[in-house]
Amino acid sequence: MSELTERLQQQLIAGANRPLMQDANQHWYSGSELNLEENVWKNYWQNKGIGKNDVVLVSLTNSVTYTLVIQSLWEVGAIVQPINPDSTEIQISELEDQYNYSALILNSDVKKLSILNDTFTNHPRLTTLHEPEVQIYLRDVHTHHPIEVPDDEDIALIMHTSGTTGKPKRVGLTHKQLLAGAFNVIDSEKLTDQDRTFILMPMFHINAMVISNLATRLSHGQLLFRPKFSAHLFWKEVSSEMVTWISLTPAIIAILLQRDEQPEHNNLRFLRTASAPLLPSIHQEFSRRFEVPLIESYGMTEAASQIAQNPLELPRQNTVGTITGMKIKILDKDFNELGNGLIGQIALKGDNVITHYLDPQPEAFHDGWLLTGDLGSLDETGYLHIAGRSKEMIIRGGENVNPLAVEDCLIDLKFIREIAVIGTPDLIYGETVTAVIVPKKLSHDHRHQLALLNELANEQLLPVERPTKYIFSTHLPKNATGKIQRTLLAQEVSQQLKEA
């Protein structure tokens, strides 16, 4: 048995008489109830012939059932591939054609997948929990694999990268890598069995899967599952449920700032933010409005979640903190290591970091180091500063423009709800700086807003950084965790400009 699955079992046994998980209806389950349910699932897989190296697609909303299903599959040696529960029948079918899953696990309200009728049979599955049933599709012609306990080096999880800067890649994470990633979180956040957290971000994302789910379970804490974030209920439930910490995104932070609710008396030690850059101006406004420590961090799927986090006792704004549990280098374009203060590509190596992708991507590694594609620098005290994605940097007339710096300047204008700065083609300069703005109020006349934008840009930005195009829109394309898909946005805007 892998150390990961053994420790997950120990959590349920040790907390047999203690409430460990709460479902969306605020029903608590003890460790003994959860252990019984997990064993029912494990026996189910064994009876159906799901075992060593079977890949099972999981498309569920956040729930207690979700974490128990995953644990049971890991214990029989299977591999889990979680995907967005909003995936369409066509998307699921395309994945199945590519990867030939042994089973599919879907929400009960998903209509029967007629497109898979020739390959799978729907097996209804009743749950003993106070949660909806789930649907299970088992492959009709399936080679029964032996039920083997997994080793630490076996793959446990397959996830797609977010695809914000290119085609998503399949990341295979082993039991050992997931365990190391979870303990990096436990150590940096000083998690104990007295901690209690919401899972608000989707479980098919590495943040919720490892940082909220596994780190809490391995530290014997308590989990409260919610299908999605509710701005209206957030502060009320933080108080009533005595939550001690939560992992959020900058998008959620921005939503909380747009509302009038204030936190009541609460037990929060901190909130952490990840999955996308947090603009300094947003961080400052949050700190001014709410007396809750907001801790910035940095992670990626390929590192089993967390790479760096600000120390709880000494957080520094405008940084993502110090490296947790791995090695880091800042490299120039020739892979030479750069000194403190110099910006280059971030490279990683460690027990939680992959050494290859499931689909060969040799250009993503150099001499055993993962090349993240992120740009950053280390200061003299070891804090990491993120400068953006290498593919998102705008190159105008041979000069690099960091879109985050432009966004942080312009977001101060009160009429802006959201902003994304991208590079669009320019015949003379190669790229031009283009700002796509979602205003708080729709208007057909933007002359006054454009005047304010140009005035602020001229005052605070270098000439090369100043946007030459402003586009007003009703939305920005985002992935499931609220991260702006800049590459997709740039493609859409470039096509619009081409057709104009």
The model's pLDDT over 439-465, given as tens digits with 9 standing for 90+, comes to 998 888 999 999 999 999 998 888 889
Kindly tell me the burial class for residue 66, based on how many C-beta atoms sit within 10 Å of its own C-beta (0-12, 13-18, 19 or more): buried
Residue 343 has pLDDT above 60, yes or no: yes
Q: pLDDT tens digits for 415-433?
A: 999 999 999 988 777 788 9
Considering 112-126, 205-219, 395-409, 425-439, the range whose residues carry the highest mean pLDDT is 205-219
**pLDDT band of 271, cuts 50, 70, 90:** very high
Average pLDDT, stretch 303-309? 97
Entry pTM: 0.85
Q: Which of 469, 432, 476, 436 is nearest to 454 (CA)?
A: 469
- CA atoms of 361 and 375, how far apart (whole Å): 19
Sign of CA dihedral 50, 52, 57, 61: positive
Its CATH class, for the domain covering 394-499, is: alpha beta
- CA atoms of 401 and 83, how far apart (whole Å): 34
Radius of gyration from C-alpha coordinates of the chain: 23
Kindly tell me the burial class for residue 360, based on how many C-beta atoms sit within 10 Å of its own C-beta (0-12, 13-18, 19 or more): exposed
Considering 167-171, 235-239, 251-255, 262-266, the range whose residues carry the highest mean pLDDT is 235-239
Residue 183 has pLDDT above 90, yes or no: yes
Average pLDDT, stretch 154-169? 74
Average pLDDT, stretch 187-207? 95
Q: What CATH superfamily is the domain 1-390?
A: ANL, N-terminal domain (3.40.50.12780)
**Is 478:251 a contact under the CB 8 Å cutoff?**
yes
**Is 42:72 a contact under the CB 8 Å cutoff?**
yes
| Tokens 């189910």 sit on residue | 44
* Average pLDDT score, the chain: 91
Res 116: pLDDT: 79
Listed by start position, the domains of the chain span: 1-390, 394-499
Q: Name beta bridge partners: 246.
A: 271
Res 165: pLDDT: 41
- CA atoms of 214 and 220, how far apart (whole Å): 10
- CA atoms of 308 and 322, how far apart (whole Å): 5
Res 164: pLDDT: 38
- Please name the helix (run of DSSP H) or strand (run of DSSP E) that holds residue 138, with its range, or none: strand 134-139
Residue 166 has pLDDT above 60, yes or no: no
**Three-state SS at 122:** strand
Question: Considering only 89-93, 194-198, 398-402, which range has the smallest mean pLDDT?
Answer: 398-402
